Structure 1
Amino acid sequence: MNDATPRTDKPTGSLVLPAPAKLNRLLHITGRRPDGYHELQTLFQFLDIGDTLTLRRREDGELRLSPTLDGVEREDNLIMRAARLLKAETGARLGADIHLDKQLPLGGGLGGGSSDAATALLGLDALWGLGLELAELARLGLVLGADVPVFVNGHAAWAEGIGERLTPVTLDTPWFVLIHPGVTVSTPAVFGAPELTRNTLPITMARALQGGAASWNNDCEPTVRRQYPEVARALDWLAVRAPAMLTGTGACVFARLETEPQADRLLAEVPKGWQAFKARGLNRSPLHAALGR
């Protein structure tokens, strides 16, 4: 990942910052709230791959984002929403040119949009010399989406509620091979499916960690398998080679490997037509390492 200017209480001119991917190493759905949101228990872990944001300070207060992503209006992009929210909440008069180098697949279950928003919040806080605490930035992040706070806080976490109640944890840091099978999964369709498991018994964080990776599963996986045969094929292909699972609602699936050479060998076997990449699990976000937070 790119290095960045260390955090300062004085405005800086420009920053190049990572927006790391995440995996859901475990995902249980324990209930459904009256407002339609689902109660979850999940383990978030960062990866050493992701998008990159370049932020340059503007003195005129304007916010500009490039490039435009297919299917996402510029003003609806979570990066722009994060920037506007931060300005509104703090009264900041500076602006920014923001360039997104998008590497993570859209709708892949890797948290790309949420991570981009978190990087925008932390990056603009540094760029504008605001000096906000992580807790305040996480509060703003929750306005943008339930996954944003974990990226703002910057540590692997056990999450409950809709994913916003976070407890830092230390997980194993294996290598992963990830496959995006070339389909776009609709998260609302998955969570709205009648057959989706919604009554998994809650467990304690201690029990989840004691059980370890061999006991972890994703309650969304059976539904996604039924709705998206190509995801099922990717999971089946991976599962005969290494422990495999869906992340989030997909479409990305991942296999856990002990060593980088094992990951390299598996990566070389992935059939053509699937986007595949390797990554290392991390307990501390590379964004926070870059900013010294």
Structure 2
Amino acid sequence: MNPVPTHAQAFAAPAKLNLDLRITGRRSDGYHNLESIFCLISLYDTVYLAVRDDDKIILHTPTQGVLPEQDLSFRAATALQSYTGGAKGADIWLEKRIPMGGGLGGGSSDAATVLLALNHLWQCGLSRETLMTIGLKLGADVPFFIFGKNAFAQGVGEQLREIAIPKQWYVVVRPPVHVATSVIFSHEGLTRDSKSSIMPTFQTVQPFRNDMQAVVLEAYPEVLQVYEKLKQYGSPLMTGSGACLFISFQMQKDAQAVYSRISNEYKAYCVEGLARHPLLDI
């Protein structure tokens, strides 16, 4: 990454896990109704921002193969600028640590952090609810990161209510493959009729599952291989539409022990669950 100038400010963008994910139906617009438990985790991208005196939005760290104007962070800045009619611009640098296409929400989290931080830096004064509405047009996971707390989500992921999650540690493993979300959602074997939860809590929704997991394990042998490996340490689950898998632990030492064994073979992370987004009070 090119050096970030000293006048740029750094803002954290945490990843998420879907501790539970169920598809409760298909909508008339082609999307699916979901129910999921979203949990923030201590794996972060860093978004660096500097306010410009002109109205230009410049992304200085484009992703290879992605046009800057298609990047979610760039689109978030331009969406906020358009909504407010603001005359200020921004320079954006992204330091990526969250793997792309793994179901950890990195791009959505970056976009949410841009909206939250520029609302502050540009002194727009928009409410969190308004920012969530803007964010939903960018992606279904963006409102969750703006919401800023662990949540039970419904709809396409935009209907959120806070949910209490006990302190846990997670070993997250990234199989060496990219899972195409569109392929999974259109798969004929996908379960689309899970029963909706009544008064969901962390305890009542268990045992946790992911309705997309069986389809992904069947279609992607690389994910299945990691899944079989992790089964000797616990009950692995997939997050989002994959490809990342994770195991939950109550004790950090247990998570560290498994991480030390698995990280020699696969890209892995040992992280803790967060109770709140770092920018919740911005």
Structure 1 counterpart of 2:116, from 98, 113, 122 = 122
Q: How does 1:133-148 map to 2 (within 5 A)?
A: 133-148=127-142
Q: Which residue identity does 2:245 align to in structure 1?
A: V
2:60 & 2:228 partners in 1: Cα distance?
38
1:233 & 1:172 partners in 2: Cα distance?
29
Match of 1:4 in 2: none
Match of 1:210 in 2: 203
Q: How does 1:11-160 map to 2 (within 5 A)?
A: 14-160=8-154
1:271 & 1:96 partners in 2: Cα distance?
38
Structure 1 residue runs of 4 or more that deviate by more than 3 Å after TM superposition: none
1:204 & 1:40 partners in 2: Cα distance?
14
2:64 & 2:242 partners in 1: Cα distance?
19
1:169 & 1:107 partners in 2: Cα distance?
26
1:279 & 1:154 partners in 2: Cα distance?
18
Q: Deviations over 1:35-86 (max 9, x none)?
A: 1100110000100112100001111121111211123211100011111110
Q: Which residue identity does 2:94 align to in structure 1?
A: L
Summarize the Cα distance change of 1:97–1:165 in structure 2 as closer, same or farther, 3 Å threshold.
same
**Structure 1 portions without partners, runs of 5+:** 1-12
Give 3-state SS (helix, strand or coil) of 1:210's partner. coil
1:199 & 1:125 partners in 2: Cα distance?
39
Give 3-state SS (helix, strand or coil) of 1:262's partner. helix
**Structure 2 portions without partners, runs of 5+:** 1-6
1:268 Cα offset (Å)? 0.9
Q: Which residue identity does 1:236 align to in structure 2?
A: E
Residues 51, 101 of structure 1: 8 Å contact kept: yes
Match of 1:226 in 2: 218
Note the aligned Cα RMSD (angstroms): 1.3
Summarize the Cα distance change of 1:212–1:75 in structure 2 as closer, same or farther, 3 Å threshold.
same
Match of 2:229 in 1: 237
Residues 197, 205 of structure 2: 8 Å contact kept: no
Hey, which of these two has a bigger chunk of helix by percent? 1
Matched, 1:187 2:209: no
2:275 & 2:176 partners in 1: Cα distance?
28
2:164 & 2:126 partners in 1: Cα distance?
26
Question: Aligned residues, how many?
Answer: 276
Q: Which residue identity does 1:118 align to in structure 2?
A: A
Residues 157, 169 of structure 1: 8 Å contact kept: yes
1:272 Cα offset (Å)? 3.8
1:63 & 1:94 partners in 2: Cα distance?
9
